[in-house]
Amino acid sequence: MTEMVYGSSPVAVREPVLPRWWRTVDRWTMTSVFVLFGIGLLLGLAASVPLASRNELNQFFYVQRQAVFGMMALVVMLGISMAPPGLVRRLGILGFLGALILVIALPFVGEDHGKGAVRWLSVGGFSLQPSEFLKPGFVIVTAWLMAAAQQVGGPPGRLISFVLLILVVGFLAMQPDFGQSALIVFSWGVIYFVAGAPMLLICVVAGIVAFGGFIAYGASEHFARRIDGFLSPDVDPRTQLGYAANAIQEGGFFGVGVGEGQVKWSLPDAHTDFIIAVAAEEYGLVLVLVILALFGIVVVRSLLRLTAERDPFTRLAGSGLACIFGVQAMINMGVAVRLLPAKGMTLPFVSYGGSSIIAAGITVGMLLALTRTRPRDRMAELFGRRR
C-alpha cells in the first residue's frame, strides 16, 4: 500500500567488478606490459642458455624460472589493478614497512652472492632482494605524506618524507646499492615537484645528491672504479661495457639473426643487466625501438591519464610510480650504450630476476589502479566544457 501511494524507491544497480575493471583500466598500458614480458621470454631463450650450461643446469632452467616468476608478477599486477586508491595506499604502506625491516636486517642475515654487496635474503632456496619492493612502497608513502600536507591543519608531510628519504638512502648505501638509492631520491624529487615544490628547493636537493655522489666516490672503491670507467675515453673490449658496445654495433638495424649472437657467451649478466645488448645483437635496432616504444606507452599514457585526476594522493603516487618505472628502464638501457655509468639494474619485465619482475608487477598494478577512469573525472570534464 505504501508503494502505491508514495512510489517505490529506486534500487542502485552495481556493475560487476570485472566488467567495471575492464571498462576503466588502461588497456594500452596493460597490453604493453604483456608484450614486454613476452619479449623478455624470447630474449631469455637466447641469453640464459650459456649461463645454464656453465652452471651444469638444464639449458632452459632460467627461462622456466622467469616464466614462473613472470606469471606470478602478472597475476599480482592484475589483482592490484582492481583495487581502489584507498586500498592501494594501505597495501603500499604495509609493503614499505615490511621491505624496510628486511633492508635493515640485511647486514645481519643477508648475502652478497659474490657481487660484493649484501642485497639478498635466501628464503627456501630462493633469493629475495628487499630493495626492489621498497621502491613502490616508498612512492606510496611519500605521496600519502605530501598529499596530507596539502590539507588544512595537515601534518608536516614534506619534512617527514625527507627524513624518511634520508633513512632509506642511508640503509641502501650501507649495502652498498647506489643505483636503488638514486631511484629512491629521484622518485621523491618527482613527487615533491608535482606537489608544487619551489625550484630553489629542487636545486638544493640536487646539490645534496651531487655532494653525496662525491663522498661515495671517495669512500667506495667499487663506485669509483665504475665512474672512472665511464669517464675514460677508451673502453676496454674485455669488460662488460666493451662486450655490450661491440654487440650493439654488430647487430646493426636488423640484427645478426636469432640465436647467432655471441655476446651472451661473454657477458656473465647478459640475461639481466645487459639483456638489451642481446636484443640489439640478435634482432637489431628494430627490436630495441619496439622496447623503447612499449616503455614510452606505459609512462606517457599513465601521466596523461593522471592529468585529469583531482585527488592529490592519486596524482602524486601515480606520477611517482610511472616515472620510477620509466627511469629504471632508461638507466638499464643507458648503461648498455655507455650513456650512464655501469650499474646493476634490471630492465623491468624483460630481464631475468624473480624479485625484480614481481616488484615491477606490483608497481604497474598500483599504476593501473590509480589511472583507472572514475566517474568524478568525467563529471569534471563535463563541468569544464559547460564553462
Q: What is the pLDDT of residue 6?
A: 46
Q: How does DSSP assign 171-195, residue by residue?
A: HHHTTT-HHHHHHHHHHHHHHHHHT
pLDDT over 60 at 26, yes or no: yes
* pTM of the full structure: 0.88
Q: What is the pLDDT of residue 190?
A: 92
Rg (C-alpha) for the chain, rounded Å, is 23
* Distance (Å, whole) CA 313 – CA 132: 22
Rounded to an integer, the average pLDDT of 283-310 is 94
Query: Quick one: pLDDT band at residue 234, thresholds 50, 70, 90?
Result: low
The percent of residues above 70 in pLDDT, for the chain, comes to: 85
Task: Name the more confident of 8 and 368.
Answer: 368
Q: Tell me the CA distances in angstroms from 76 to 31, 84, 139, 274, 361, one per residue in order.
A: 15, 15, 18, 26, 6
pLDDT tens-place string over residues 79-125: 999 999 999 999 999 999 999 999 998 888 878 766 667 777 877 66
- Picking from 143, 258, 234, 144, the residue whose alpha carbon sits closest to that of residue 193 is 143
Angle at 139 between CA 134 and CA 140, to 5 degrees: 100
Task: Name the more confident of 8 and 268.
Answer: 268
Q: What is the pLDDT of residue 236?
A: 57
pLDDT tens-place string over residues 170-228: 888 888 788 888 899 999 999 998 988 777 777 777 787 777 777 766 666 666 666 66
* Distance (Å, whole) CA 369 – CA 305: 12
Report the chain's mean pLDDT, rounded to a whole number.
83
The percent of residues above 90 in pLDDT, for the chain, comes to: 42
Q: What is the pLDDT of residue 316?
A: 95
pLDDT tens-place string over residues 113-141: 666 677 778 776 678 889 999 999 999 99
Amino acid identity, position 100:
L
Task: Name the more confident of 339 and 62.
Answer: 62
* Distance (Å, whole) CA 39 – CA 242: 24
Beta strands of the chain (E only): which ranges?
A: 121-123, 126-128
* Burial readout 49-67 (b: 16 or more C-beta within 10 A, e: otherwise): bbbbeeeeeeeebbbebbe
3-state secondary structure of 146: helix
- Are the CB atoms for 351 and 305 separated by under 8 Å? no
Q: Which residues neighbour 288 within 8 Å (Cβ) at sequence distance 6 or greater?
A: 276, 279, 280, 333
